[in-house]
A = this chain, B = another copy of it.
């Protein structure tokens, strides 16, 4: 982990620089890129979506694997990457292993990609191809 953040009441990302408002430094870029890279695969996106949208909040691996045309080790590999990115966590209960979403990370990403409400962006009407005459 080695976390340089402190989660304050689950809304920590609002206090962060924000990616769209100020240039991120190398360290933060490297850290964030690891998470985005984990999301940069269709299989992992579907896995995350299946886990996050599950009623009850958790899914058994045995419910995930048959949804894909991939071998079980491959699914296990993708789940590991999602877990290393801090997007999900898991626990073994008896025979099965259950995964669940860590909403802190998705919240943080959403916050980082959200620009401040009234930011004019300053060129919304200029040389946009097709918009401006």
Count of A interface residues, CB-CB < 8 Å: 52
Instruction: Name 20 interchain pairs, CB-CB below 8 A, sorted by A.
Output: A19-B45, A19-B53, A20-B49, A20-B52, A20-B103, A21-B53, A22-B49, A23-B50, A29-B45, A32-B39, A37-B40, A55-B122, A57-B121, A57-B124, A91-B127, A103-B121, A106-B113, A107-B114, A110-B110, A113-B113
Q: Is the CB of A33 within 8 A of B57?
A: no
Chain B residues with CB under 8 A of A101? 20, 121
A22 adjacent to B57 (CB under 8 Å): no
Encode contact with B along A2-42: 1 for CB under 8 Å, 0 otherwise. Answer: 00000000000000000111111010011011101111111
- Bound CA–CA A123/B111 (angstroms): 22
Any B CB within 8 A of the CB of A109: yes
User: What is the CA–CA distance of A96 and B31 in the complex, to the nearest angstrom?
Assistant: 32
Within 8 A of B (CB), among A77-130: 89, 91, 100-101, 103, 106-107, 109-111, 113-115, 121-124, 127-129
